[in-house]
Amino acid sequence: MSLPLTQDEARSIAEAFRAAEHSVKRYMDNNYNQEQHKISRAEYDTLYEFCQTLLCLSSEATTVAVGLSLDALTAPADELNGIIEEAHQQIKTMQNILTVTSCVSGLVNLASSLIAREPGAIVTSINKLRNQIRM
């Protein structure tokens, strides 16, 4: 059974990516400041690049996700929003830069899979992200 995403569902998914990107920015602001550097400049730059990618992909996802079918997911919009929101919440509470970077990288992979319209890659990205979050 194929469940296409509606325009509203695609917009909701794009907003979930955007909210996750904002969480990463808050993490960066909270952990890289003049008084106390909890993350290095290189780590900050890596997260910044991920943020830019998530922001671009969230905009792109709004237009290309409409009509996407995911046979392997029973409720594509709910599952996508759920894992993105879970990653978003985890980023808010994570303290380890390696864990944050891994989670953000997983979000970027998921967004890229959506843009590419590759259902197999989307399912794989969801599973990898879920595993990264629960580590």
Give the mean pLDDT of the chain.
77
Q: Convert the pLDDT of each residue in 78-100 to its tens digit.
A: 777 888 888 888 887 777 788 88
pTM of the model: 0.54
Classify residue 70: in a domain, yes or no: yes
Which domain range does residue 100 map to?
A: 7-133
Classify residue 1: in a domain, yes or no: no
pLDDT given for residue 1 in this prediction: 32
Classify residue 95: in a domain, yes or no: yes
pLDDT given for residue 65 in this prediction: 53
Count Cβ atoms below 10 Å from residue 64 Cβ, excluding itself: 15
pLDDT interval class at 2 (50, 70, 90): very low
Handedness of CA 74, 61, 8, 66 (dihedral sign): negative
Domain count, the chain: 1
